[in-house]
């Protein structure tokens, strides 16, 4: 069963990752300064791209353009990237790789830079793995990196180069930017966008942030109720006559789920956690003895969810979760004078579902785990299938 469900999940991801290519209106400018209106695959890049896919129209085949071929590209009302040859410092912020050199160690590279806000002064961002760098230009200064660098003074002491504050103080000389604004300025996109926007708006009130996006709900609290069907087997490889196969039991389940949506890749990924009460009671007459299982616990599945958008009102999703569990006085009477200790092992849950209008959801879930202590010849398998109805409170 678990192999079949895994196959379904991987097939789902493969199909929808391929079929759900969203090409949106945009343009690119080639090396001859020719502007080409086209459709660009919007991947809502978490890291700065080195290439992108485009189509001239809906019917044409996707093609790829790289940073070598394009000076600029943009997706309407979404993002804009410009190509520059810049000096970039790639010094690590990781302690074990940190340099003893205070000043930036520049290397010239040709890169796409993401436009965060533009006007009399333009702010850019470059992201690559653990590297994040900001760049700027004005009508009198070319593109330069805003310098922030951590460095080792000794093995026990770390210093920080905040030269970006002096660069901004020199470049954005205006009565609207105070010394206090710059003194308290952090090296992150939100703070830097604010100060560059403040400067630009002093010259042009219509200045807008390229990276400004409508606010999206990045947290959901969902009530989730449904029905479940569970069964338990305990097999004895040494003495198979003691194998036990308890009946399927159908019951209700109730949980509450917290969903934290990641703000990248068009909000397709989420971290989920769902405390849920579960119980299973069964008896089995075996070799003139009543074997009894009384299993109660609070399950806390934690894991990840992937959404595949069908349209503005509906989407499919898949989950993969690890189950953290707290026992509530569970026990298994295996045979006369033999009680098995209940301990959850190898607990995983997988699900596939549908969500409508960001409010209502329906999910089919499969979970499996071993619920007895690790033993040389005893193996237990507790499996549950559930049909879960969800409602988003907020």
How confident is the model at residue 18, as a pLDDT?
45
Judging by DSSP bridges, how do beta strands 106-117 and 157-161 pair with one another? unpaired
- What are residue 292's DSSP bridge partners? 283, 333
How confident is the model at residue 162, as a pLDDT?
97
Give me the residue label for tokens 């000389």.
173
The C-alpha atoms of residue 239 and residue 351 are separated, in whole angstroms, by 35
The C-alpha atoms of residue 283 and residue 57 are separated, in whole angstroms, by 65
How confident is the model at residue 267, as a pLDDT?
82
The answer to whether residues 55 and 14 touch, using CB atoms and an 8 Å cutoff, is no
How confident is the model at residue 43, as a pLDDT?
83
- What are residue 227's DSSP bridge partners? 252, 387
- Dihedral pair phi/psi, residue 62, rounded to 5°: -65, 145
The C-alpha atoms of residue 215 and residue 27 are separated, in whole angstroms, by 25
The C-alpha atoms of residue 205 and residue 210 are separated, in whole angstroms, by 15
Residues of the chain with pLDDT under 50: 2, 15-19, 214-215
Residue 91 has which token pair?
A: 């010094």
How confident is the model at residue 214, as a pLDDT?
47
Domains, the chain, with CATH or none:
19-201 (no CATH), 219-392 (2.40.160)
Count of C-beta atoms within a 10 Å radius of residue 308: 16
């Amino acid at each position: 069963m678990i192999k079949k469900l895994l196959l379904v999940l991987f097939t789902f991801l493969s199909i929808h990752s391929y079929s759900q290519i969203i090409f949106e209106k945009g343009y690119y400018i080639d090396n001859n300064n020719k502007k080409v209106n086209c459709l660009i695959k919007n991947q809502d890049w978490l890291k700065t791209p080195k290439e992108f896919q485009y189509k001239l129209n809906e019917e044409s085949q996707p093609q790829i353009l790289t940073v070598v071929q394009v000076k600029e590209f943009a997706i309407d009302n979404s993002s804009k990237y410009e190509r520059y040859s810049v000096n970039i410092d790639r010094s690590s912020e990781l302690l074990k790789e940190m340099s003893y050199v205070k000043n930036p160690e520049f290397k010239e590279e040709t890169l796409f830079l993401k436009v965060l806000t533009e006007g009399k002064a333009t702010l850019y961002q470059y992201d690559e793995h653990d590297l994040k760098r900001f760049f700027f230009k004005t009508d009198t200064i070319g593109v330069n990196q805003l310098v922030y660098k951590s460095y080792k003074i000794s093995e026990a002491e770390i210093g920080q180069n905040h030269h970006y504050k002096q660069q901004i103080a020199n470049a954005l000389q205006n009565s609207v930017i105070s010394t206090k604004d710059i003194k308290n300025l952090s090296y992150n996109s939100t703070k830097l966008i604010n100060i560059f926007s403040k400067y630009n708006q002093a010259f042009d009130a219509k200045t807008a942030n390229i990276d400004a996006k409508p606010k999206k709900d990045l947290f959901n609290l969902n009530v989730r109720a449904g029905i479940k069907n569970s069964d338990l087997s305990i097999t004895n490889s040494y003495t198979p006559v003691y194998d036990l196969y308890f009946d399927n039991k159908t019951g209700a389940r109730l949980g509450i789920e917290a969903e934290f949506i990641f703000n990248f890749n068009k909000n397709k990924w989420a971290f989920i956690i769902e405390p849920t009460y579960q119980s299973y009671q069964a008896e089995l007459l075996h070799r003139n003895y009543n074997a009894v299982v009384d299993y109660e616990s609070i399950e806390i599945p934690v894991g990840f969810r992937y959404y595949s958008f069908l349209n503005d009102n509906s989407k499919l999703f898949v989950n993969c979760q690890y189950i953290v569990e707290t026992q509530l006085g569970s026990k298994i009477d295996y045979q006369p004078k033999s009680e098995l200790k209940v301990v959850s092992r190898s607990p995983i849950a997988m699900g596939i579902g549908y969500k409508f209008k960001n409010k209502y959801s329906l999910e089919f879930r499969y979970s499996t785990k071993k619920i007895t202590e690790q033993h040389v010849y005893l193996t237990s398998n507790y499996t549950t299938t559930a049909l879960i109805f969800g409602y988003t409170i907020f």
